[in-house]
Structure formats: structure tokens, C-alpha cells
């Protein structure tokens, strides 16, 4: 059984933060802990950006620099190098979403291909990532998801989406770099899943290269995983899954209520936690043909995966098991895991300030809504401030 105090070591957790960065983090999480402030601040920020008011500097020096690596790939490199010195890798995430034009989708493709080039040169970046809706219009994904007939123009457009997927996955295979495909809302996800499954069948022949993302707050994802497992056995290819709890709960529940269908979301947090942990157990039991990227800020799920590895005699640095957290969050998990020799990667978003605002808004809302998340961050930051005699 893993020591349940492993993540309490704040000296290791915040070693890379100087005093002013620690104080900024403490201030930021105190602000995020006040829900009305988050709502008002988000609305005001979005308004100011749309009105072209000069507030980008303020955003950069506060929430952006805490949760993002920079505005472009090169901008992120000093942070990546610094983290890697402590054994924490980076997953560079081009967090621009909701675009509409082919030019913007091609730009996203070029950026992801460039990240794979980075990954072949820099040990600190072992994994690439992209979001399906970065390569095609939301409305197109939704139409495919519903099984509706596409007109000739839409068929060409969808073929371009599939070609972008294929270019990334082929380059990842040729470069021996794993690529994570992020999850979407449920009304786009089936369309994305179909593409990712085809990429797995094509490129996961020798080992997992392409990873799908399962949002375990969906009550159907365990069945989906088992079905994927059956497909992989009959097709003789490997599976890679990034497990997360999920990012669109309120939106999913509201849409289900508005349109009068059963929500795909588990009825409560306990059911989600059980679903996530069951997926960890299932994957560890089938590690001969699956690889895990456990994207979680939940300490108990992290301890569970550590325990399961110990029970099965799986070494801490087994390449089939990765732990992942978001940059700017849960440093107490990331750095203490890395200190013990586990494979750890921080998701590091980057992009122009205005374009990553949807991502930053989700992070603020997530920290406000997830029970205990902000409180835990504040407690640990406070403990480290006291240790350094800053408070």
C-alpha cells in the first residue's frame, strides 16, 4: 500500500516556484475560490477582449502565465526545460478551439506536426496532443455524429478532417511519438471516436501510438472501453487511452434537460469516481495490450493506480503507464510522483491570449465547481508559504 502522505511534501511540490510565483499562485486560487468573482471576472474579461480593450498584459501576468506555457511553442521551452530537471515531462497543447475556416484548421495541423518534430528532438516532450474540433467545424462533427447525410461539399470537408487526423497519426508513428486525441462534448464524440478507432487500427500495430480520451463522468464509457478492447483483439492492434473525469458536465446536463433526453453524465461524483477507478483496474489488468495516460488531479485515484502497479509488480517507470496533470494545477501530485520515478507529464496549453480564453475559463470554472480542488491547492500553498516564512 502506497504511503498516503506522499503528496503532502510541499518543498518538492513547489520547488520550482520562487517566492513571488508562490504568492501569485496563492492570490490566484483565493480569487478562484469565490464563485461570483469567477463569473463576473470571466464575463468582464471576455467583454474587454472582444472590445479590444488593453487588458492582455494583465491576463498574461496573472491567470495566463499560471495556467499556460506561453503564446507559442518557443515561448514554452524555458518552462519545459525547468520542469524536466525535476523529472516532469510536458505535453504541448495548442489550446485554440472553436475555429471555422479551413485555413485555421490547417494552421492547427501545422502546429501539431511541428510539436511532433519538437518531440523527436526534446526528451522533455514525449507525447503530442490535438483536439478533434481543432481540425474541423463543430457543426460538421455534430452532423456526422447524428448519422445525417452529408452533401458533396461536406463530404469533401469531412475527408479533409480525416486527412488531418491521418497526417498527425502517421507522423507520430514514423517519429515514435505517442499522440493523445482529446475528448469533446457527447454530441461530437461519436464522430471523433470513429476517426480515432480507424487511426488506432492503422497505426497501433506494434504498440500504442494513438490514444483516445475517455471522459469517465459518462456512464457509458466502461462499456465503450470493453467494446474497443474486443475490436482490438479481433483486429490485432494495441489500445491507448487517456482517462479523465470530464470537462463539460454542466453543459452536458443542461443540454440533456433542454432537449429532454437522458444525460450521459453519471448521477453524482461518487459514481464518476467509481467509473474512473474501475477503468484504471480494467486497464492495469489488460496492460499487455493497453497503455494508460491517467489524467487526474484526484489523489485517491492516483494512489489507487500506484497501488495497482505495486500489486502487479509493474515498475514505477513502466512506459505503458503515465500520470498527467494540467500545468498550474496539482503540483503536489506531479512533482512528488516524479520524485518517486513515475512517468509524469504536465499538459501545457499555449496560444494567443485571446484564443486560449475558452480554455482558461474552463480552468477557472472547474476549480470553482470541483469540490475540494481549490481548497486543497490553497491549503498546500499556505503550508509552503509558512514553511518559507512568507506568511
CB 199 within 8 A of CB 165: yes
Q: What are phi and psi of 116, to 5 degrees?
A: -65, -40
For residue 276, CA distances in Å to 82, 156, 382 come to 31, 37, 30
Residues making up the chain, counted from first to last = 391
- Give the gyration radius of the chain's Cα atoms: 20
CB 94 within 8 A of CB 112: yes
Question: How far out from the chain centre does Cα 78 lie?
Answer: 21
Q: Which three cell numbers stand for residue 25?
A: 499562485
Question: What pLDDT, in 10s, does the model give residues 114-141?
Answer: 999 999 999 999 999 999 999 999 999 9
Question: Beta 344-350 vs 321-326: how paired, if at all?
Answer: parallel
Side by side, the strands of the sheet bearing 88-94 are: 88-94, 344-350, 321-326, 290-295, 239-244, 210-215, 178-181, 127-130
CB 165 within 8 A of CB 191: no
CB 15 within 8 A of CB 86: yes
Which of 292, 325, 309, 319 has its CA nearest to residue 225?
A: 292
Question: Beta 344-350 vs 178-181: how paired, if at all?
Answer: unpaired
CB 247 within 8 A of CB 364: no
Q: Which three cell numbers stand for residue 118?
A: 519538437
Which of 290, 333, 284, 338 has its CA nearest to residue 313?
A: 284
CA angle in degrees (0–180, nearest 5) for 66-72-77: 70
Alpha-carbon gap, residue 141 to 190, rounded angstroms? 9
Q: Which three cell numbers stand for residue 308?
A: 495497482
Q: Which three cell numbers stand for residue 300?
A: 485517491
- Residues ≥6 apart with Cβ < 8 Å to 41: 31, 364
Which of 193, 225, 376 has its CA nearest to residue 300?
A: 376
Question: What pLDDT, in 10s, does the model give residues 229-238?
Answer: 999 999 999 9
Position 186 scores a pLDDT of 97
pTM: 0.92
Per-residue pLDDT of the chain (391 residues; tens, 9 = 90+): 888 889 999 999 999 999 999 998 998 888 877 765 566 666 667 666 676 777 677 778 778 888 899 999 889 999 999 999 999 999 999 877 677 899 999 999 999 999 999 999 999 999 999 999 999 999 999 999 999 999 999 999 999 999 999 999 999 999 999 999 999 999 999 999 999 999 999 999 999 999 999 999 999 999 999 999 999 999 999 999 999 999 888 899 999 999 999 999 999 999 999 999 999 999 999 999 999 999 999 999 999 999 999 999 999 999 999 999 999 999 999 999 999 999 999 999 998 888 887 777 766 666 555 555 678 888 999 999 999 998 7
Residue 143: CB atoms within 10 Å: 18
- Residues ≥6 apart with Cβ < 8 Å to 101: none
Q: Which three cell numbers stand for residue 349?
A: 496549453
Residue bearing cell 514505477? 316
Alpha helices in the chain (DSSP H): 10-13, 19-32, 35-50, 56-59, 65-67, 73-84, 102-121, 138-145, 152-175, 186-203, 221-235, 249-259, 269-285, 299-311, 331-339, 357-369, 373-387
Burial of 210 (0-12, 13-18, 19+ CB in 10 A): buried
- Residues ≥6 apart with Cβ < 8 Å to 302: 7, 294, 296, 323, 333, 337
Alpha-carbon gap, residue 345 to 326, rounded angstroms? 8
Which of 122, 119, 102, 101 has its CA nearest to residue 178?
A: 119
Amino acid at each position: 500500500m502506497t504511503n498516503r502522505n506522499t503528496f503532502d511534501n510541499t518543498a518538492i511540490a513547489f520547488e520550482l516556484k520562487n517566492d513571488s510565483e508562490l504568492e501569485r499562485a496563492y492570490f490566484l486560487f483565493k480569487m478562484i475560490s469565490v464563485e461570483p468573482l469567477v463569473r463576473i471576472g470571466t464575463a468582464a474579461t471576455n467583454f474587454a477582449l472582444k472590445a479590444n480593450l488593453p487588458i492582455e498584459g494583465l491576463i498574461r501576468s496573472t491567470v495566463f502565465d499560471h495556467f499556460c506555457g506561453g503564446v507559442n511553442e518557443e515561448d514554452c521551452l524555458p518552462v519545459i526545460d525547468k520542469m524536466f530537471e525535476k523529472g516532469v515531462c510536458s505535453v504541448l497543447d495548442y489550446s485554440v478551439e472553436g475555429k471555422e475556416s479551413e485555413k485555421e484548421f490547417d494552421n492547427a495541423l501545422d502546429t501539431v506536426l511541428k510539436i511532433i518534430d519538437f518531440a523527436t528532438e526534446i526528451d522533455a516532450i514525449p507525447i503530442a496532443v490535438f483536439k478533434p474540433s481543432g481540425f474541423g467545424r463543430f457543426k460538421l462533427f455534430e452532423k456526422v455524429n447524428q448519422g445525417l447525410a452529408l452533401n458533396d461539399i461536406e463530404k469533401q470537408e469531412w475527408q479533409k478532417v480525416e486527412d488531418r487526423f491521418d497526417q498527425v497519426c502517421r507522423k507520430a508513428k514514423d517519429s515514435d511519438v505517442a499522440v493523445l486525441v482529446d475528448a469533446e462534448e457527447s454530441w461530437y464524440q461519436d464522430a471523433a471516436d470513429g476517426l480515432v478507432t480507424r487511426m488506432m487500427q492503422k497505426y497501433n500495430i506494434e504498440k500504442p501510438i494513438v490514444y483516445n480520451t475517455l471522459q469517465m463522468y459518462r456512464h457509458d464509457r466502461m462499456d465503450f472501453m470493453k467494446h474497443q478492447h474486443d475490436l482490438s483483439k479481433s483486429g490485432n492492434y494495441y489500445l491507448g487511452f487517456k482517462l479523465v473525469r470530464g470537462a463539460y458536465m454542466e453543459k452536458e446536463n443542461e443540454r440533456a434537460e433542454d432537449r429532454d433526453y437522458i444525460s450521459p453524465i453519471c448521477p453524482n461524483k461518487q459514481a464518476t469516481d467509481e467509473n474512473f477507478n474501475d477503468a484504471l483496474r480494467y486497464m492495469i489488468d489488460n496492460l499487455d495490450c493497453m497503455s494508460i495516460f491517467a489524467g487526474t488531479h484526484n489523489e485517491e485515484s492516483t494512489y489507487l493506480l500506484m497501488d495497482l502497479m505495486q500489486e502487479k509488480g509493474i515498475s514505477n517507470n513502466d512506459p505503458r503507464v503515465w500520470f498527467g496533470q494540467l500545468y498550474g494545477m496539482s503540483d503536489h501530485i506531479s512533482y512528488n510522483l516524479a520524485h518517486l520515478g513515475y512517468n509524469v507529464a504536465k499538459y501545457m496549453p499555449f496560444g494567443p491570449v485571446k484564443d486560449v480564453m475558452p480554455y482558461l475559463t474552463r480552468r477557472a470554472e472547474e476549480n470553482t465547481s470541483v469540490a475540494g480542488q481549490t481548497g486543497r491547492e490553497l491549503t498546500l500553498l499556505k503550508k509552503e508559504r509558512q514553511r518559507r516564512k512568507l506568511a
